[in-house]
Structure 1
Amino acid sequence: MRISKKWLQQYLDVSDLSAQEIADCITDAGLEVEGLEAMSSGTNLMIGEVETCVDHPDSDHLHICQVNFGDKTEQIICGAPNVRAGIKVIAALPGAKLPGGEIQAGNIRGLESNGMICSLAELGVDPKQLRDDQKNGIEILPADAPIGDRDPLAYLGLDDVVLDVSLTPNRNDCMAGWAMAVETGAVLNRSVKLPNCEGAANEGSATRLKVSSTTKKCPLFLGKVINHVTIKESPKWMKELLAASGIKSINNVVDISNIVMLETGQPLHFYDVKAIPAQEITVKDQLECTYTALDGIEYTIEKDDLIITSEGKPIGIAGIMGGDDSKIEADTAGIIIEAASFHHVNIRNTSRRLNLSTDASIRYQKGIEPLAAYKAMDRAVALLKEYANADGLEATVQYGDDAYTPVEITVSPSRINRLLGTDIAVSEMVEVCRRLQLQPSMQGEDIHVVIPSVRQDLLIEADIAEEIIRIIGYDRLPSTMPLMPATVGALNERQQMRRRIRSLFTGFGLYDMITYTLASQKQVDDAIMGLTPVVELASPMSEDRKYVRGSILPSLLDSVAYNQNRSVKELACFEMSSVYAKGIEEEHLAIVLCDTLQKSQWQNIVIPADFYTLKGIIKTMLAQFGFEGTRVIVKPNTVDVEHFHPNKSACIYIGKDLLGIFGDIHPMMAKRYNVSSAVMAELNMEVLLKNRASKVKFAPISKYPSVTRDLALVVKTETASADIIDTIRKSGKRMVTDVEVFDVYTGEHVAQGSKSIALRVTFQSDDKTLTDKEINEVYEKLLNALKQELQAELR
């Protein structure tokens, strides 16, 4: 909310306070003033008249100006294209300090120059408020500008400071200048006088205007015909107030609609009465068409959008912007006023989809008080009669109602003091309620308050308690030390898991990534073991951040694609984060490896980022937590073959619980995410936490030598290497310490439907040196077991 000191001065006396002092008081009361912005700035300025203006003999664009300041005349060299004799200007004299620096007397191409003739932009005025001629040249003042005036900024109404107030979500009422004035008056304990125009819209003869709505998204619509208005320039105070609010002045009628919106918070729309000959306005949805708005841009209207229509044709996008075909022109003789209520979520969705954010749409999205439409209509009629010679008023017509029920609360001072931990006097509480215009009255020992319609955030006694301490000052709250039990600092099981995984994975060379928790529809659809039902945000920032994610991998793949598109091909990363569904929260771990995990060219060492590397990383992690051996089961992937390659992926279980899925990305998913190639995994860490891990045991390295034997087995193609290794380990018991596959072969000399697997078996004892006889006995035993269980034959 932008409100200037001059604007506040219209309603309460703040002449003795600086803008900074006002800002500090408002901030202390809970509405943070994020910044102060001067409308303009400059010292040692003076209004002068250019008496003569001749071309500089040594320049094709400079001019020699003699400027009369009343008590003296100074020579100033000026390069502005619009400078000429006979005009009144603003001059910065030597020593003046402007936003661009300090002005000094000097010599310009051989001639003396004692100052600078200024444009408004050079005085710090927002360029958005300036016309093209004002941006491209010096400011030419009206003929009645007083020569010698040393405060030209005040003469132009630019001696103002704007307070940029950050509103909390519950204080949408302060989007209205009147409400902000009441708030400021309560904080400063000063009387506030708002314009009294109640009932101004009741005047009017019989009308044929009809207003209606075919949708529940428009509960209230007011319309009023004013047959005669005069289009002219707005008064000075109105233009100054609009400029301070960042709105450019157009003409008196359009400016009045904007002023009323700023004052009451209720957006209005004025239609040229000639553009609506049927005198019929209907709010509709379920229309599909294109429509050209006031900004001259054609928008595509969809069924969910609210449209203002007349005779079935659009004349405005409800709550956002009117149409180009019904706008106020210089020849407009009469107008129709619209003041309506629209569903805030619908306005937000339309505004976001059309990428069309206006002052009106912002106010509708934040919520408008129930009686704002009536206040705005009264204020608009009063201003139109005063500044636009409004005549020929017809009766105000209404569709629907405001559905407003006044709120009254009876509060107990003793309960409020107990709640706040204070000893505030009852009289002081009553005074605060009076300052907030809550109409307090005593009912026995209790205080009865009537909540104004503008304060929709005050509903219960606790709200009144908050208002009392906010206005009195939080420094009245007693200072107490928090009572906390002494505990020994330690990480819980989940925190320990996170720390150990991050330490292990970064040691492997993986990057620890952090991606957005909010996801798009595409990312929700591509969830890996995703939680459901997904949580959808009521007011998302954009379509790409519409849902709370139930899976990490899609977000991580977007980050991988970003890096690959910037020539970062060798990427290994992981992310550990919470994922959500309605009423559910789980910890997931996602991993993505691309190209190579590690590479050393001079050593000719390459660790590829493939299925087996990823499998090794996952199994190493599980072993660190005490999950290995028969407790960890890897099976072919039958759970998700839409996102994982069906022949190059697997599911990993801890006992009977599915821990996760890992393997090559499916080519179609890789194409959707613009990822060249990757192996990936998503693991549900809740499975790890809920299963009881085996105790990790440590043993000394055997001091006796080991013996290795290589063997090549011919087995059926479908026989898994893991089954062969398990059979060898079970047969060899404690004498077989390691089994490693070092070759898999299919082709010539191997029967169709079979494959050759070469393994290296390590034999070792912790008690003695093994003899050939002992090794041979175990070797024969494991060969027999392989033949019986897996039909394996020595090659």
Structure 2
Amino acid sequence: MKLSRKWLEQYMDLSGLDMNDVASAVTDAGFEVEEILPMSSGTNLVIGEVLTCVDHPDSDHLHLTTVDTGDGIRQIVCGAPNVAAGQKVIVALPGAKLPGGEIRSGSIRGQQSDGMICSLAELGVDKHSLTEEQLAGIEVLPADAPVGNTDPRGYLGLNDVVLDISLTPNRADCQAVWNMAAETAAILKRPAEFPEYEGAGNAGNDKETDLVISSTTEKCPSFLGKIIGSITIKESPKWMKELLRASGVHSINNVVDISNIVMLETGQPMHFYDLDALPASELICKDGLECEYTALDGITYSIQPEDLIITSAGKPVGIAGIMGGDDSKIEENTTRLLIEVATFDHVSIRNTARRLALNTEASVRYQRGIEPLAAKKALDRAVDLLIRYADAKDIEKTVVYGTDGYIPRTITCTLAEINGRLGTDFVLDEVMDVFKRLSLEPELDGDLITVHVPSTRQDLEGMADLSEEVIRMIGYDRLPSTLPLMEMTEGKLNPQQKQRRFIRTMLLENGLQDAVTYTLVSQAKNDNAILGRGNALELPVPLSEERRFIRRSILPSLLETLSYNLSRGNKNVSLFEISELTSDQGVDKHLAIVLNGNLESVRWLNQTLPTDFYTIKGLIEEMLIRLGIGENRIYFKENKTDTRHFHPGRSAEVYIGKDLIGITGEIHPLYAKENGIRQAVMAEIDLDKVLGTKKSKVRFSPVSKYPAVSRDLAFVVKKDVPAGKIVDVIKRSGKLDKEAVVRSVEVFDVYEGEHVADDEKSIALNMTFQSDRHTLDDAMITKVFNDIIDAIQKQCKAVLRSA
């Protein structure tokens, strides 16, 4: 398995790591890196232009050239037979260090030579990847190569490093670059993002097709075919050619290269046929044939009855799972395409490949095993790339024979079982983190951990396999050993760390999921920063436009994650993230929450807790109160700070005393549409202000042994008077002998309509009275009750409706 740095960097950020670090981490996790192979090497190189080229006066094979290197003209003696004036070439200047040694100025047969014109082989490029012409002479660059460019290796895409990884028999899934990259990301604890291609193969499904796809043998249980009615054969994009070269595959043209790149990405071999070269619009997999057949390599093979053959109109057109035919290959004049993606019996492919001595990239993958869903992934990805890079049009309906046979599996275990098997003392968070990083989607029910085995991981069958995953990801150095007894320094969390951990735990307890999103964001997300302070810091050389700025707000990233989940059928998504944000004014810590659907659901009781404004308001209140911030210090006021991202009538500013700490509420409909979301409630909280607020100790209060009394009140007030103001007045006024005897206030009705003026509303409240000192008699309650009525009438200009 060959994996290059450039290919990994398409999916994850490897900043701060060189390939030696990656190789070490991957090896420690059970994938032996046999070799770290630079695709080329050399220092002090430059692109030059050969101005003149004449025969050396004292040699029958050397040439005397003058070369413009951008900083002057140098005389260089060159022995390559293909050197000529007007060529753009790679020049190693004096002092350059190449795999063969250091280049120095000197005299060659009486003529001064100030450098060397290089071939790719002299730069250490694998000779097996070079043509005979390239091996015989210097490398001639395109006519538009920039003279004076000091990075010719980068210009040619040879500034890459390749890991040659030996896979164990049980990890056939890592034959696919995507799977190996996901594994590498999990090992390095770095987020990975893969191309979005799902469903691309559905293009044309609204069009009928006369294509016939079938199989007459049990050795081909699943077979997919699709006609692309119009394609353009041309040169492949630079990135594709570079990745193929790093994998040891020659670039041919865009269409053939797409079939190879998809096989490398997904691990699923596929074959493209020139539709016009086939005898019929038909592909049928058969065995039982005995014939001679000429494959793509031009060699004629003897086909035996046990071999699987792809046929069209009864004529062989490919050796199934191994190699296509010479008579239907993609040519420069190909305009129509037939895609074949199938599942074949690995034993049959192994026997045929061994007998024919044809160990192709496709046959090796079939022999080791392919994940059940790889065929659909490969078809989707191939159509996606053909549309983008081969101008694919007139796409017809996908024809499917058989089924993939995939049945989702789950495995259960407990932390005690894993620790018991490994002899370790891992905590639950460590084990759950491993399962999450490996995309096993762990669920915890009491002590029982249930993991959902991805289609790629057919090697996971039981608890023993899960324990192996845990130890190899956490590290074999964590296996217990006996150490000398010595003094240890106590490690502990500081107060702010404790509070952050408490907030995270509390939100997890309430059913939210802890998310980790990218620190680097696009211009659009930066422009939509919520509670963002200062100006964003821009990377001088960003990896892409999507990763240009260091973010000042978390919510835009969380909303993207919500949209991603909703678009894939995930419902009831409740997320939060705690992260540091950086701007030109410093570093801030924020908490963001996004809720969609139901926060809780008990189907057998037919009970749900919907996520609305009051749900997220309650979460914030509970968090602040449990941190030790008194309920009387927490205020929610009308949102006037941000009505672009929040619904102006269904959102609020959150205050601790006079300090604005955040905004919460329903997403603005227009902003929701921008993010591909129908409905969500969200909040962004300045965590630094919360953590820096002086807090009271959370103390235990015994339950009062005296009875409680409930009373109702209804007032008519102006519409602009918030119910919260009345609640505050009740709490401040509900005292008896300096003891607060109003234990709770609940608004249970707000009425507007008949018998109430147009600019007024009726608010009904329920109050509970209770003392910790004695039983409250009617006189005491009546006194407090009347005091409350008087205070409300004066401070809220209310009219008593009923009591």
TM class, shorter-length? 0.5 to 0.7
Distance in 1, matches of 2:290 and 2:84, equals 56
Residue 121 of structure 1 deviates from its aligned partner by 1.3
Distance in 1, matches of 2:230 and 2:97, equals 49
Q: What code does the residue aligned with 1:469 have?
A: I
- Name the structure 2 match of 1:104: 104
Question: Given that residues 48 and 67 in structure 2 are in contact (C-alpha distance below 8 angstroms), is that contact kept between their aligned partners in structure 1?
Answer: yes
Q: What code does the residue aligned with 1:369 have?
A: E
Residue 18 of structure 1 deviates from its aligned partner by 1.2
SS in 2 for 1:258: helix
- Name the structure 2 match of 1:785: none
Residue 80 of structure 1 deviates from its aligned partner by 1.7
Q: What code does the residue aligned with 2:167 have?
A: L
439, 442, 460: which one aligns with 1:440: 442
Distance in 2, matches of 1:64 and 1:353, equals 53
Residue 425 of structure 1 deviates from its aligned partner by 1.2
Distance in 1, matches of 2:95 and 2:280, equals 64
SS in 1 for 2:260: helix
1:273 and 2:275 correspond: yes
SS in 1 for 2:34: strand
1:248 and 2:247 correspond: no
321, 342, 358: which one aligns with 1:356: 358
- Name the structure 2 match of 1:534: none
| Per-residue deviation, residues 19-71 of structure 1 (Å, max 9, x unmatched) | 11111100000111011111111121111111222222223332221111222
Question: Given that residues 51 and 67 in structure 1 are in contact (C-alpha distance below 8 angstroms), is that contact kept between their aligned partners in structure 2?
Answer: yes
TM-score, structure 1 length as denominator?
Answer: 0.60
Q: What code does the residue aligned with 1:50 have?
A: V
1:203 and 2:203 correspond: yes
- Name the structure 1 match of 2:173: 173
SS in 1 for 2:305: coil
- Name the structure 2 match of 1:52: 52
Distance in 1, matches of 2:236 and 2:131, equals 16
SS in 1 for 2:90: strand
- Name the structure 1 match of 2:39: 39
Q: What code does the residue aligned with 2:175 have?
A: M
Residue 13 of structure 1 deviates from its aligned partner by 1.1
Q: What code does the residue aligned with 2:198 have?
A: E
Distance in 1, matches of 2:165 and 2:403, equals 32
406, 410, 420: which one aligns with 1:418: 420
| Per-residue deviation, residues 283-330 of structure 1 (Å, max 9, x unmatched) | 000111010000111100111000000111100000000000010001
Equivalent residues in 2 for 1:82-161, closer than 5 Å: 82-161=82-161
Question: Given that residues 51 and 66 in structure 1 are in contact (C-alpha distance below 8 angstroms), is that contact kept between their aligned partners in structure 2?
Answer: yes
SS in 2 for 1:146: coil
SS in 2 for 1:478: coil
SS in 2 for 1:51: strand
- Name the structure 1 match of 2:65: 65
Residue 131 of structure 1 deviates from its aligned partner by 2.5
Distance in 1, matches of 2:482 and 2:421, equals 15
- Where has structure 1 moved over 3 Å in runs of 4 or more? none
Question: Given that residues 120 and 139 in structure 1 are in contact (C-alpha distance below 8 angstroms), is that contact kept between their aligned partners in structure 2?
Answer: yes
1:366 and 2:375 correspond: no
Equivalent residues in 2 for 1:141-540, closer than 5 Å: 141-204=141-204, 205-479=207-481
Residue 357 of structure 1 deviates from its aligned partner by 0.8
SS in 2 for 1:67: strand
Residue 138 of structure 1 deviates from its aligned partner by 1.1
Question: Given that residues 4 and 161 in structure 2 are in contact (C-alpha distance below 8 angstroms), is that contact kept between their aligned partners in structure 1?
Answer: yes
Distance in 1, matches of 2:130 and 2:33, equals 26
Residue 445 of structure 1 deviates from its aligned partner by 2.4
Equivalent residues in 2 for 1:692-711, closer than 5 Å: none
Residue 169 of structure 1 deviates from its aligned partner by 0.8
| Per-residue deviation, residues 435-459 of structure 1 (Å, max 9, x unmatched) | 1011122222222211110000112
- Corresponding residue pairs, total: 481
- Name the structure 2 match of 1:484: none
SS in 2 for 1:274: helix
Q: What code does the residue aligned with 1:445 have?
A: D
SS in 1 for 2:341: strand
- Name the structure 2 match of 1:80: 80
Distance in 2, matches of 1:264 and 1:309, equals 25
Question: Given that residues 316 and 322 in structure 1 are in contact (C-alpha distance below 8 angstroms), is that contact kept between their aligned partners in structure 2?
Answer: yes
Distance in 2, matches of 1:178 and 1:51, equals 46
| Per-residue deviation, residues 563-591 of structure 1 (Å, max 9, x unmatched) | xxxxxxxxxxxxxxxxxxxxxxxxxxxxx
Moved more, 470-479 or 45-54: 45-54
Distance in 1, matches of 2:427 and 2:48, equals 60
SS in 1 for 2:327: helix
Q: What code does the residue aligned with 1:74 have?
A: R
Distance in 2, matches of 1:7 and 1:192, equals 12
Distance in 1, matches of 2:342 and 2:477, equals 42
Q: What code does the residue aligned with 1:44 have?
A: N
Q: What code does the residue aligned with 1:6 have?
A: K
Question: Given that residues 173 and 369 in structure 1 are in contact (C-alpha distance below 8 angstroms), is that contact kept between their aligned partners in structure 2?
Answer: yes
Residue 463 of structure 1 deviates from its aligned partner by 1.2
| Per-residue deviation, residues 669-691 of structure 1 (Å, max 9, x unmatched) | xxxxxxxxxxxxxxxxxxxxxxx
Residue 267 of structure 1 deviates from its aligned partner by 0.2
Residue 277 of structure 1 deviates from its aligned partner by 4.2
Distance in 2, matches of 1:356 and 1:22, equals 33
Q: What code does the residue aligned with 1:213 have?
A: S
Distance in 2, matches of 1:268 and 1:129, equals 23
Distance in 2, matches of 1:111 and 1:15, equals 47
Question: Given that residues 309 and 319 in structure 2 are in contact (C-alpha distance below 8 angstroms), is that contact kept between their aligned partners in structure 1?
Answer: yes
- Name the structure 1 match of 2:538: none
Distance in 2, matches of 1:150 and 1:375, equals 41
Question: Given that residues 279 and 313 in structure 2 are in contact (C-alpha distance below 8 angstroms), is that contact kept between their aligned partners in structure 1?
Answer: no
Residue 143 of structure 1 deviates from its aligned partner by 2.5
Distance in 1, matches of 2:279 and 2:303, equals 24
Distance in 2, matches of 1:91 and 1:71, equals 12
Residue 216 of structure 1 deviates from its aligned partner by 0.2
Residue 480 of structure 1 deviates from its aligned partner by 6.0
Question: Given that residues 282 and 308 in structure 1 are in contact (C-alpha distance below 8 angstroms), is that contact kept between their aligned partners in structure 2?
Answer: yes
Question: Given that residues 9 and 15 in structure 1 are in contact (C-alpha distance below 8 angstroms), is that contact kept between their aligned partners in structure 2?
Answer: no
Distance in 1, matches of 2:102 and 2:69, equals 20
Q: What are the ranges of 5 or more consecutive residues in structure 1 without an aligned counterpart? A: 482-795
